[in-house]
Structure 1
Amino acid sequence: MAELPESEPRMYRFGKVACGILTHVLCVVFTVLITVLAKPGTSLFSWHPFLMTLAFSLFMTEAVLLFSPHCSPIRKLSHKTKGRFHWILQCLCASCATLGLAVIFYNKHLNGKPHFASWHGLVGLGTLCVVGVQSLAALPLLYHSLAKGWSLAKLKRYHAASGLVTYLLGSVSLLLGICSVWFTGAVGGYTWYLAALCPALSTLVIMSQVSNTYMAKKRLVS
Protein backbone atom coordinates (compact mmCIF):
# COMPACT_ATOMS: atom_id res chain seq x y z
CA MET A 1 0.00 0.00 0.00
CA ALA A 2 2.80 2.45 0.78
CA GLU A 3 4.26 2.04 -2.73
CA LEU A 4 1.15 3.17 -4.60
CA PRO A 5 1.50 6.93 -4.16
CA GLU A 6 5.06 6.81 -5.54
CA SER A 7 3.73 5.81 -8.99
CA GLU A 8 1.39 8.82 -9.13
CA PRO A 9 2.33 12.02 -10.99
CA ARG A 10 4.09 14.54 -8.79
CA MET A 11 1.41 17.22 -9.19
CA TYR A 12 -1.29 14.69 -8.32
CA ARG A 13 0.54 13.73 -5.14
CA PHE A 14 1.06 17.40 -4.29
CA GLY A 15 -2.66 18.04 -4.73
CA LYS A 16 -3.50 15.11 -2.44
CA VAL A 17 -1.09 16.36 0.23
CA ALA A 18 -2.50 19.90 -0.02
CA CYS A 19 -6.08 18.64 0.29
CA GLY A 20 -5.15 16.53 3.29
CA ILE A 21 -3.41 19.39 5.07
CA LEU A 22 -6.37 21.65 4.26
CA THR A 23 -8.73 19.11 5.83
CA HIS A 24 -6.65 19.03 9.03
CA VAL A 25 -6.84 22.83 9.14
CA LEU A 26 -10.57 23.00 8.34
CA CYS A 27 -11.64 20.58 11.07
CA VAL A 28 -9.57 22.47 13.64
CA VAL A 29 -10.81 25.90 12.47
CA PHE A 30 -14.43 24.76 12.49
CA THR A 31 -14.07 23.29 15.98
CA VAL A 32 -12.44 26.48 17.27
CA LEU A 33 -15.18 28.62 15.67
CA ILE A 34 -17.96 26.64 17.33
CA THR A 35 -16.09 26.69 20.63
CA VAL A 36 -15.75 30.48 20.52
CA LEU A 37 -19.42 30.93 19.63
CA ALA A 38 -20.74 28.38 22.14
CA LYS A 39 -18.49 29.42 25.05
CA PRO A 40 -18.75 26.01 26.77
CA GLY A 41 -19.56 26.34 30.43
CA THR A 42 -21.59 29.55 30.14
CA SER A 43 -24.82 27.53 29.98
CA LEU A 44 -25.96 23.92 29.86
CA PHE A 45 -26.78 24.20 26.15
CA SER A 46 -23.31 25.57 25.35
CA TRP A 47 -21.83 22.11 25.90
CA HIS A 48 -23.98 20.55 23.15
CA PRO A 49 -22.52 22.27 20.05
CA PHE A 50 -19.02 22.11 21.55
CA LEU A 51 -19.11 18.37 22.25
CA MET A 52 -20.83 17.45 19.00
CA THR A 53 -18.37 19.47 16.93
CA LEU A 54 -15.46 17.99 18.85
CA ALA A 55 -16.84 14.52 18.08
CA PHE A 56 -17.84 14.77 14.43
CA SER A 57 -15.58 17.52 13.09
CA LEU A 58 -12.32 16.90 14.94
CA PHE A 59 -12.09 13.35 16.32
CA MET A 60 -13.91 11.56 13.50
CA THR A 61 -12.07 13.42 10.75
CA GLU A 62 -8.66 12.88 12.33
CA ALA A 63 -9.48 9.21 12.92
CA VAL A 64 -9.95 8.71 9.17
CA LEU A 65 -6.99 10.87 8.15
CA LEU A 66 -4.69 8.63 10.19
CA PHE A 67 -4.85 6.17 7.28
CA SER A 68 -4.16 8.77 4.59
CA PRO A 69 -1.02 7.83 2.61
CA HIS A 70 -0.44 11.53 1.94
CA CYS A 71 -1.10 13.50 5.14
CA SER A 72 -1.34 11.13 8.09
CA PRO A 73 0.50 12.55 11.13
CA ILE A 74 1.63 8.99 11.94
CA ARG A 75 2.22 7.86 8.35
CA LYS A 76 5.45 6.00 9.16
CA LEU A 77 3.91 3.83 11.88
CA SER A 78 2.56 0.36 11.19
CA HIS A 79 -1.02 -0.17 10.03
CA LYS A 80 -1.78 -2.00 13.28
CA THR A 81 -0.63 0.98 15.34
CA LYS A 82 -2.69 3.33 13.18
CA GLY A 83 -5.67 1.08 13.82
CA ARG A 84 -5.21 1.42 17.58
CA PHE A 85 -5.05 5.22 17.39
CA HIS A 86 -8.03 5.19 15.03
CA TRP A 87 -10.09 3.20 17.52
CA ILE A 88 -9.08 5.52 20.39
CA LEU A 89 -10.19 8.60 18.42
CA GLN A 90 -13.45 6.90 17.49
CA CYS A 91 -14.08 6.07 21.14
CA LEU A 92 -13.48 9.73 22.00
CA CYS A 93 -15.89 10.66 19.20
CA ALA A 94 -18.58 8.34 20.55
CA SER A 95 -18.04 9.56 24.14
CA CYS A 96 -18.28 13.26 23.22
CA ALA A 97 -21.32 12.66 21.03
CA THR A 98 -23.05 10.71 23.82
CA LEU A 99 -22.37 13.50 26.31
CA GLY A 100 -23.55 16.07 23.76
CA LEU A 101 -26.80 14.17 23.26
CA ALA A 102 -27.31 13.81 27.02
CA VAL A 103 -26.77 17.56 27.49
CA ILE A 104 -29.32 18.63 24.88
CA PHE A 105 -31.81 16.00 26.06
CA TYR A 106 -31.62 17.26 29.65
CA ASN A 107 -31.67 20.89 28.53
CA LYS A 108 -34.87 20.34 26.54
CA HIS A 109 -36.35 18.48 29.50
CA LEU A 110 -35.66 21.41 31.81
CA ASN A 111 -37.22 23.86 29.36
CA GLY A 112 -40.21 21.70 28.49
CA LYS A 113 -39.29 21.47 24.79
CA PRO A 114 -40.02 18.41 22.59
CA HIS A 115 -37.19 15.98 21.91
CA PHE A 116 -35.94 15.16 18.38
CA ALA A 117 -38.46 17.51 16.78
CA SER A 118 -36.12 18.62 13.98
CA TRP A 119 -34.10 16.97 11.24
CA HIS A 120 -30.95 18.02 13.07
CA GLY A 121 -32.03 16.14 16.18
CA LEU A 122 -33.16 13.04 14.30
CA VAL A 123 -30.05 12.82 12.13
CA GLY A 124 -27.84 13.48 15.15
CA LEU A 125 -29.49 10.67 17.10
CA GLY A 126 -29.19 8.31 14.15
CA THR A 127 -25.55 9.23 13.65
CA LEU A 128 -24.72 8.52 17.29
CA CYS A 129 -26.38 5.10 17.07
CA VAL A 130 -24.44 4.29 13.90
CA VAL A 131 -21.18 5.46 15.52
CA GLY A 132 -21.79 3.10 18.43
CA VAL A 133 -22.50 0.15 16.15
CA GLN A 134 -19.52 1.00 13.95
CA SER A 135 -17.18 1.13 16.95
CA LEU A 136 -18.35 -2.25 18.24
CA ALA A 137 -18.22 -3.77 14.76
CA ALA A 138 -14.57 -2.70 14.52
CA LEU A 139 -13.53 -4.99 17.38
CA PRO A 140 -12.96 -7.98 15.05
CA LEU A 141 -10.42 -5.86 13.17
CA LEU A 142 -8.45 -5.50 16.39
CA TYR A 143 -9.12 -9.04 17.59
CA HIS A 144 -9.61 -11.13 14.47
CA SER A 145 -10.48 -14.24 16.48
CA LEU A 146 -13.89 -12.65 17.16
CA ALA A 147 -14.84 -13.04 13.48
CA LYS A 148 -14.05 -16.61 12.56
CA GLY A 149 -14.83 -17.43 8.95
CA TRP A 150 -14.37 -13.83 7.79
CA SER A 151 -11.22 -12.74 6.02
CA LEU A 152 -9.48 -9.64 7.37
CA ALA A 153 -9.56 -8.03 3.91
CA LYS A 154 -13.33 -8.42 3.66
CA LEU A 155 -13.84 -7.03 7.17
CA LYS A 156 -11.74 -3.99 6.28
CA ARG A 157 -13.78 -3.35 3.12
CA TYR A 158 -17.07 -3.53 4.99
CA HIS A 159 -15.73 -1.37 7.79
CA ALA A 160 -14.47 1.28 5.35
CA ALA A 161 -17.79 1.38 3.48
CA SER A 162 -19.89 1.62 6.63
CA GLY A 163 -17.41 4.10 8.11
CA LEU A 164 -17.83 6.37 5.11
CA VAL A 165 -21.61 6.28 5.58
CA THR A 166 -21.10 7.13 9.25
CA TYR A 167 -18.87 10.06 8.34
CA LEU A 168 -21.44 11.35 5.84
CA LEU A 169 -24.13 11.20 8.52
CA GLY A 170 -21.90 13.11 10.93
CA SER A 171 -21.24 15.79 8.32
CA VAL A 172 -24.95 16.12 7.52
CA SER A 173 -25.65 16.50 11.24
CA LEU A 174 -23.07 19.30 11.46
CA LEU A 175 -24.50 21.05 8.40
CA LEU A 176 -28.01 20.84 9.83
CA GLY A 177 -26.63 22.21 13.10
CA ILE A 178 -25.29 25.35 11.45
CA CYS A 179 -28.76 25.85 9.96
CA SER A 180 -30.19 26.02 13.49
CA VAL A 181 -31.63 29.15 15.03
CA TRP A 182 -28.72 29.29 17.48
CA PHE A 183 -26.00 29.33 14.83
CA THR A 184 -27.75 31.56 12.29
CA GLY A 185 -28.42 34.01 15.10
CA ALA A 186 -24.76 34.02 16.11
CA VAL A 187 -23.23 34.50 12.65
CA GLY A 188 -24.34 35.90 9.36
CA GLY A 189 -23.28 36.79 5.85
CA TYR A 190 -20.11 35.21 4.51
CA THR A 191 -19.21 33.69 7.87
CA TRP A 192 -22.08 31.23 7.61
CA TYR A 193 -21.05 30.11 4.12
CA LEU A 194 -17.42 29.77 5.15
CA ALA A 195 -18.48 27.70 8.16
CA ALA A 196 -20.62 25.46 5.93
CA LEU A 197 -17.65 24.88 3.64
CA CYS A 198 -15.60 23.33 6.44
CA PRO A 199 -17.57 20.07 6.88
CA ALA A 200 -18.52 20.03 3.18
CA LEU A 201 -14.93 20.17 1.89
CA SER A 202 -13.71 17.77 4.59
CA THR A 203 -16.35 15.28 3.49
CA LEU A 204 -15.21 15.45 -0.13
CA VAL A 205 -11.60 14.77 0.88
CA ILE A 206 -12.57 11.85 3.14
CA MET A 207 -14.77 10.36 0.40
CA SER A 208 -11.89 10.63 -2.06
CA GLN A 209 -9.43 9.05 0.38
CA VAL A 210 -11.63 6.05 1.17
CA SER A 211 -12.75 5.40 -2.40
CA ASN A 212 -9.25 5.78 -3.87
CA THR A 213 -7.74 3.48 -1.24
CA TYR A 214 -10.10 0.61 -2.02
CA MET A 215 -10.04 1.20 -5.78
CA ALA A 216 -6.26 0.93 -5.55
CA LYS A 217 -6.57 -2.31 -3.60
CA LYS A 218 -8.87 -3.72 -6.26
CA ARG A 219 -6.32 -2.86 -8.97
CA LEU A 220 -3.57 -4.57 -7.02
CA VAL A 221 -5.67 -7.71 -6.56
CA SER A 222 -6.57 -7.81 -10.24
Structure 2
Amino acid sequence: MAVNNIESESEARIYGFTRRASAVLTHFICIVFSLFIALMSRPGTSLFSWHPFLMTLAFSFFMTEAVLIFSPHGSPIKGFSHKTKSRVHWILQCLCVSCAVLGLAAIFSNKHLNSKPHFTSWHGLLGLLTVCVVALQSLAAVPLIYHSLAKGWSLAKLKRYHAASGLITYLLGSMSLLLGLCSAWFTASVKDYNWYLSALCPAVSALMIMNQVTSAYMAKKRLKA
Protein backbone atom coordinates (compact mmCIF):
# COMPACT_ATOMS: atom_id res chain seq x y z
CA MET A 1 0.00 0.00 0.00
CA ALA A 2 2.84 2.36 0.95
CA VAL A 3 4.65 1.53 -2.29
CA ASN A 4 1.54 2.39 -4.30
CA ASN A 5 1.23 5.73 -2.50
CA ILE A 6 4.87 6.56 -3.21
CA GLU A 7 4.42 5.66 -6.88
CA SER A 8 1.25 7.78 -7.09
CA GLU A 9 3.01 10.76 -5.51
CA SER A 10 5.95 10.33 -7.85
CA GLU A 11 3.67 10.19 -10.88
CA ALA A 12 1.79 13.26 -9.65
CA ARG A 13 5.05 15.21 -9.26
CA ILE A 14 6.21 14.18 -12.74
CA TYR A 15 2.82 15.08 -14.21
CA GLY A 16 2.81 18.46 -12.45
CA PHE A 17 6.36 19.23 -13.59
CA THR A 18 5.53 18.28 -17.17
CA ARG A 19 2.44 20.48 -17.20
CA ARG A 20 4.33 23.44 -15.73
CA ALA A 21 7.17 23.00 -18.21
CA SER A 22 4.66 22.88 -21.07
CA ALA A 23 2.96 26.09 -19.90
CA VAL A 24 6.30 27.90 -19.51
CA LEU A 25 7.36 26.68 -22.96
CA THR A 26 4.13 28.01 -24.48
CA HIS A 27 4.67 31.43 -22.85
CA PHE A 28 8.23 31.44 -24.17
CA ILE A 29 7.23 30.43 -27.71
CA CYS A 30 4.48 33.01 -28.11
CA ILE A 31 6.73 35.82 -26.85
CA VAL A 32 9.79 34.85 -28.91
CA PHE A 33 7.76 34.23 -32.07
CA SER A 34 5.99 37.60 -31.73
CA LEU A 35 9.32 39.38 -31.23
CA PHE A 36 10.83 37.56 -34.21
CA ILE A 37 7.99 38.59 -36.53
CA ALA A 38 8.25 42.16 -35.19
CA LEU A 39 11.95 42.22 -36.10
CA MET A 40 11.19 40.72 -39.50
CA SER A 41 8.33 43.07 -40.38
CA ARG A 42 9.75 46.23 -38.77
CA PRO A 43 6.32 47.81 -38.13
CA GLY A 44 6.06 51.38 -39.33
CA THR A 45 8.48 51.04 -42.24
CA SER A 46 5.53 50.48 -44.61
CA LEU A 47 1.79 50.03 -44.52
CA PHE A 48 2.17 46.30 -45.16
CA SER A 49 4.61 45.92 -42.24
CA TRP A 50 1.75 46.44 -39.81
CA HIS A 51 -0.13 43.41 -41.13
CA PRO A 52 2.21 40.57 -40.04
CA PHE A 53 3.12 42.41 -36.85
CA LEU A 54 -0.46 43.02 -35.69
CA MET A 55 -1.76 39.60 -36.76
CA THR A 56 1.06 37.83 -34.92
CA LEU A 57 0.51 40.00 -31.87
CA ALA A 58 -3.19 39.12 -31.99
CA PHE A 59 -3.09 35.37 -32.55
CA SER A 60 0.31 34.34 -31.22
CA PHE A 61 0.60 36.59 -28.17
CA PHE A 62 -2.71 37.99 -26.93
CA MET A 63 -4.87 34.97 -27.72
CA THR A 64 -2.34 32.49 -26.33
CA GLU A 65 -1.90 34.47 -23.12
CA ALA A 66 -5.67 34.84 -22.82
CA VAL A 67 -6.06 31.05 -22.74
CA LEU A 68 -3.04 30.51 -20.48
CA ILE A 69 -4.67 32.78 -17.90
CA PHE A 70 -6.79 29.75 -16.95
CA SER A 71 -3.91 27.28 -16.93
CA PRO A 72 -3.70 25.62 -13.48
CA HIS A 73 0.04 25.16 -14.01
CA GLY A 74 1.17 28.24 -15.92
CA SER A 75 -1.20 31.13 -15.29
CA PRO A 76 0.66 34.39 -14.53
CA ILE A 77 -2.18 35.29 -12.11
CA LYS A 78 -2.72 31.82 -10.69
CA GLY A 79 -3.55 33.08 -7.18
CA PHE A 80 -6.32 35.43 -8.33
CA SER A 81 -10.04 34.64 -8.28
CA HIS A 82 -11.77 33.09 -11.27
CA LYS A 83 -13.74 36.32 -11.75
CA THR A 84 -10.52 38.34 -12.05
CA LYS A 85 -9.05 35.79 -14.45
CA SER A 86 -12.20 36.01 -16.58
CA ARG A 87 -11.94 39.79 -16.78
CA VAL A 88 -8.24 39.67 -17.72
CA HIS A 89 -9.02 36.96 -20.28
CA TRP A 90 -11.71 39.12 -21.87
CA ILE A 91 -9.40 42.19 -21.93
CA LEU A 92 -6.68 40.18 -23.67
CA GLN A 93 -9.24 38.89 -26.16
CA CYS A 94 -10.40 42.45 -26.85
CA LEU A 95 -6.77 43.40 -27.52
CA CYS A 96 -6.55 40.37 -29.80
CA VAL A 97 -9.62 41.48 -31.76
CA SER A 98 -8.35 45.08 -31.98
CA CYS A 99 -4.97 43.99 -33.36
CA ALA A 100 -6.62 41.53 -35.76
CA VAL A 101 -9.02 44.16 -37.15
CA LEU A 102 -6.19 46.69 -37.53
CA GLY A 103 -4.01 44.04 -39.18
CA LEU A 104 -6.82 43.22 -41.61
CA ALA A 105 -7.34 46.93 -42.34
CA ALA A 106 -3.61 47.34 -43.03
CA ILE A 107 -3.43 44.58 -45.65
CA PHE A 108 -6.75 45.65 -47.19
CA SER A 109 -5.54 49.26 -47.54
CA ASN A 110 -2.15 48.14 -48.85
CA LYS A 111 -3.73 46.01 -51.58
CA HIS A 112 -6.19 48.77 -52.44
CA LEU A 113 -3.41 51.35 -52.81
CA ASN A 114 -1.41 48.97 -54.99
CA SER A 115 -4.48 47.93 -57.06
CA LYS A 116 -4.10 44.28 -56.10
CA PRO A 117 -7.03 41.85 -55.76
CA HIS A 118 -8.26 41.03 -52.26
CA PHE A 119 -8.54 37.59 -50.61
CA THR A 120 -7.20 35.55 -53.51
CA SER A 121 -5.15 33.10 -51.39
CA TRP A 122 -6.03 30.54 -48.73
CA HIS A 123 -4.13 32.69 -46.24
CA GLY A 124 -6.26 35.71 -47.08
CA LEU A 125 -9.56 33.84 -47.01
CA LEU A 126 -8.81 31.97 -43.80
CA GLY A 127 -7.45 35.14 -42.22
CA LEU A 128 -10.68 37.01 -42.99
CA LEU A 129 -12.74 34.13 -41.58
CA THR A 130 -10.57 34.00 -38.45
CA VAL A 131 -10.93 37.73 -37.76
CA CYS A 132 -14.71 37.47 -38.09
CA VAL A 133 -14.87 34.39 -35.86
CA VAL A 134 -12.65 35.83 -33.12
CA ALA A 135 -14.76 39.01 -33.04
CA LEU A 136 -17.96 36.97 -32.69
CA GLN A 137 -16.30 34.75 -30.08
CA SER A 138 -15.44 37.78 -27.93
CA LEU A 139 -18.95 39.21 -28.23
CA ALA A 140 -20.48 35.84 -27.37
CA ALA A 141 -18.40 35.80 -24.16
CA VAL A 142 -20.23 38.84 -22.75
CA PRO A 143 -23.02 36.66 -21.19
CA LEU A 144 -20.30 34.79 -19.28
CA ILE A 145 -19.43 38.04 -17.52
CA TYR A 146 -23.01 39.30 -17.30
CA HIS A 147 -24.95 36.06 -16.92
CA SER A 148 -28.30 37.89 -16.73
CA LEU A 149 -28.02 38.46 -20.49
CA ALA A 150 -28.26 34.72 -21.17
CA LYS A 151 -31.70 33.81 -19.90
CA GLY A 152 -32.47 30.11 -20.03
CA TRP A 153 -28.82 29.11 -20.35
CA SER A 154 -26.85 27.65 -17.46
CA LEU A 155 -23.42 29.11 -16.76
CA ALA A 156 -21.85 25.64 -17.02
CA LYS A 157 -23.29 25.11 -20.50
CA LEU A 158 -22.16 28.56 -21.64
CA LYS A 159 -18.61 27.87 -20.42
CA ARG A 160 -18.57 24.51 -22.20
CA TYR A 161 -19.67 26.01 -25.52
CA HIS A 162 -17.29 28.94 -25.09
CA ALA A 163 -14.33 26.61 -24.46
CA ALA A 164 -15.16 24.48 -27.51
CA SER A 165 -15.69 27.44 -29.85
CA GLY A 166 -12.64 29.18 -28.39
CA LEU A 167 -10.45 26.19 -29.18
CA ILE A 168 -11.72 26.16 -32.76
CA THR A 169 -11.00 29.89 -33.00
CA TYR A 170 -7.48 29.40 -31.67
CA LEU A 171 -6.80 26.62 -34.18
CA LEU A 172 -8.05 28.88 -36.99
CA GLY A 173 -5.69 31.60 -35.82
CA SER A 174 -2.77 29.17 -35.69
CA MET A 175 -3.54 27.90 -39.18
CA SER A 176 -3.72 31.49 -40.47
CA LEU A 177 -0.27 32.16 -39.00
CA LEU A 178 1.13 28.99 -40.57
CA LEU A 179 -0.24 29.96 -43.98
CA GLY A 180 1.24 33.43 -43.50
CA LEU A 181 4.65 31.81 -43.07
CA CYS A 182 4.18 30.33 -46.54
CA SER A 183 3.71 33.77 -48.09
CA ALA A 184 6.20 35.21 -50.56
CA TRP A 185 7.12 37.93 -48.08
CA PHE A 186 8.20 35.49 -45.37
CA THR A 187 9.78 32.78 -47.53
CA ALA A 188 11.91 35.39 -49.30
CA SER A 189 13.60 36.28 -46.02
CA VAL A 190 13.48 33.07 -43.97
CA LYS A 191 14.70 29.83 -45.48
CA ASP A 192 15.82 26.29 -44.66
CA TYR A 193 15.73 25.20 -41.01
CA ASN A 194 14.85 28.73 -39.82
CA TRP A 195 11.54 28.44 -41.64
CA TYR A 196 10.78 25.09 -40.00
CA LEU A 197 11.67 26.51 -36.57
CA SER A 198 9.29 29.41 -37.24
CA ALA A 199 6.51 27.07 -38.34
CA LEU A 200 6.97 24.99 -35.19
CA CYS A 201 6.05 27.96 -33.00
CA PRO A 202 2.32 28.27 -33.86
CA ALA A 203 2.08 24.48 -34.32
CA VAL A 204 3.50 23.65 -30.88
CA SER A 205 1.48 26.44 -29.22
CA ALA A 206 -1.69 25.07 -30.80
CA LEU A 207 -0.95 21.57 -29.49
CA MET A 208 -0.26 22.92 -25.98
CA ILE A 209 -3.43 25.01 -25.89
CA MET A 210 -5.51 22.16 -27.29
CA ASN A 211 -4.15 19.87 -24.58
CA GLN A 212 -4.94 22.43 -21.86
CA VAL A 213 -8.53 22.98 -22.97
CA THR A 214 -9.34 19.32 -23.58
CA SER A 215 -7.67 18.25 -20.30
CA ALA A 216 -9.72 20.79 -18.34
CA TYR A 217 -12.93 19.59 -19.99
CA MET A 218 -12.12 15.92 -19.36
CA ALA A 219 -11.28 16.69 -15.73
CA LYS A 220 -14.71 18.24 -15.26
CA LYS A 221 -16.34 15.23 -16.90
CA ARG A 222 -14.52 12.90 -14.48
CA LEU A 223 -15.63 14.97 -11.50
CA LYS A 224 -19.26 14.75 -12.61
CA ALA A 225 -18.97 11.01 -13.26
Question: What is the TM-score normalised by the length of structure 2?
Answer: 0.95
- Map of 1:16 onto structure 2: 19
* CA deviation vs aligned residue, 1:29-54 (integer Å, no higher than 9, x gap): 10011000000011110000000000
- Map of 2:96 onto structure 1: 93
Greater C-alpha radius of gyration: 2
Q: In the alignment, does 2:198 pair up with 1:195?
A: yes
For residues 73-152 of structure 1, what are the structure 2 equivalents within 5 Å?
73-152=76-155
Q: In the alignment, does 2:210 pair up with 1:210?
A: no
For residues 21-36 of structure 1, what are the structure 2 equivalents within 5 Å?
21-36=24-39
- Map of 1:71 onto structure 2: 74
- Map of 1:3 onto structure 2: none
Give me the whole-angstrom Cα distance separating, in 2, the residues matched to 1:40 and 1:150. Answer: 44
In structure 2, stretches of 5+ residues that fail to align are 1-8
SS in 2 for 1:58: helix
Give me the whole-angstrom Cα distance separating, in 1, the residues matched to 2:200 and 2:65. Answer: 17
SS in 1 for 2:73: coil
In structure 1, stretches of 5+ residues that fail to align are 1-5
RMSD between superposed Cα atoms in Å? 1.1
- Kindly state the Cα deviation for residue 215 of structure 1 after the two structures are TM-superposed: 0.4
Give me the whole-angstrom Cα distance separating, in 1, the residues matched to 2:23 and 2:204. Answer: 11
* CA deviation vs aligned residue, 1:126-171 (integer Å, no higher than 9, x gap): 0000001100100000000000111100000000000000000000
- Kindly state the Cα deviation for residue 7 of structure 1 after the two structures are TM-superposed: 10
SS in 1 for 2:188: helix
Question: What is the TM-score normalised by the length of structure 1?
Answer: 0.96
Give me the whole-angstrom Cα distance separating, in 2, the residues matched to 1:220 and 1:52. Answer: 38
- Kindly state the Cα deviation for residue 9 of structure 1 after the two structures are TM-superposed: 1.2
* Corresponding residue pairs, total: 217
- Map of 2:160 onto structure 1: 157
SS in 2 for 1:9: helix
Q: Hey, which bits of structure 1, 4+ residues long, moved more than 4 A?
A: none
Q: In the alignment, does 2:59 pair up with 1:61?
A: no
- Kindly state the Cα deviation for residue 18 of structure 1 after the two structures are TM-superposed: 0.4
Letter in 2 for 1:205: M
* Percent identity of equivalent pairs: 72
